[in-house]
Amino acid sequence: MIPLKDYNPTTRRAWITLGLILVNVFVYFLVQPHGQGNVNPQSEAVREAKFTYAHAAIPCEVTHGHPLTVAEVEATVNNNDQNACSDPSLASTPEVFPHKNIYLAILYSMFLHASLLHIAGNMLFFWIFGNNIEDRMGWIGYPIFYLVSGLVAAASQFAVQPNSTVPVVGASGAIAGVMGAYLVLFPRVRIRTLFIIVIIPLIRDISAAWLLVFWFLLQFLTSPNSGVAWVAHVGGFVFGALIALIFRNHLRPPRTRPNLFYGAT
């Protein structure tokens, strides 16, 4: 299921959400290397991998308190050993990026994406659900909530896979927090949704509760080999829902009443 729009208008401009989307797009297209137009795809793949390992959050680095070593990276990339730092013999080689700030990398990772489809999907979800949460939380509370949701999401992933040497990138953990808050604050709002049944597209309006609960449960069916940090999604979503439950009576009310049935954004 892919959300296309929600019937939940706001009169406050969602400047924070729009700004975060622009930052993500800027980083993806103008900072991250992708190799568009280059004649040597193999060398570009190496450059992308170096950039990712130099800037992205890696569970093993955070839990062990130091950057990955040369042997750990080689075991991960060449042998697909995703828990290479659990082998003490690999820790004796020099660190690949000894000056890397492994804790700031958690923040950097929230603005890095693995592919065009990855960032497109994240930004679509973010725009649909983020503007209304910004409307309720305000210009100060909302960015704090967004960043903390991302940190909690990352911590959830690190707790489950403390020895993983695979970089964790993407804004989806923070966006999952936004989605969890949306479930609590706007469960009955109608969402225009695209269903793909086999190869047949079908567009229907369903409640936010149905869409978001289905999305949440779907995370537990994610294949371990999919490369998706689904635990981060779950952690961010639960955190967002809890924060909305705790503070919903203290949030500023929306200036317009959500359309629970039909209307326009």
Digit-coded pLDDT (tens) for 191-249: 999 988 766 778 889 999 999 999 999 999 887 777 889 999 999 999 999 999 999 98
Residue 23 in this model has a pLDDT that exceeds 90: yes
Q: 230-247 and 116-160 are packed helices; what angle lies between their axes, rounded to 10 degrees?
A: 80
Q: What confidence category does residue 265 fall into, taking pLDDT thresholds of 50, 70 and 90?
A: very low
Q: What is the pLDDT of residues 108-162, one digit of tens each?
A: 999 999 999 999 999 999 999 999 999 999 999 999 999 999 999 999 999 999 9
Instruction: Tell me what pLDDT residue 258 has.
Output: 52
**Neighbouring C-beta atoms of residue 44, cutoff 10 Å:** 16
Question: How far, in whole angstroms, is CA 224 from its chain's centroid?
Answer: 17
Per-residue 3-state assignment (H helix, E strand, C coil) for 77-98: HHHCCCCHHHCHHHHHCCECCC
CATH 2.30.33.40 fits 2-247, yes or no: no
Instruction: Tell me what pLDDT residue 263 has.
Output: 41
Of 139, 157, 177, nearest to 15 (Cα)? 139
Instruction: Tell me what pLDDT residue 35 has.
Output: 57
Q: Please, what is the Cα angle at 109 between 146 and 140, to 5 degrees?
A: 20
Q: What is the pLDDT of residues 97-121, one digit of tens each?
A: 999 999 999 999 999 999 999 999 9
**Alpha helices, H only, the chain:** 15-26, 41-55, 59-64, 70-79, 104-109, 116-160, 172-185, 208-218, 230-247
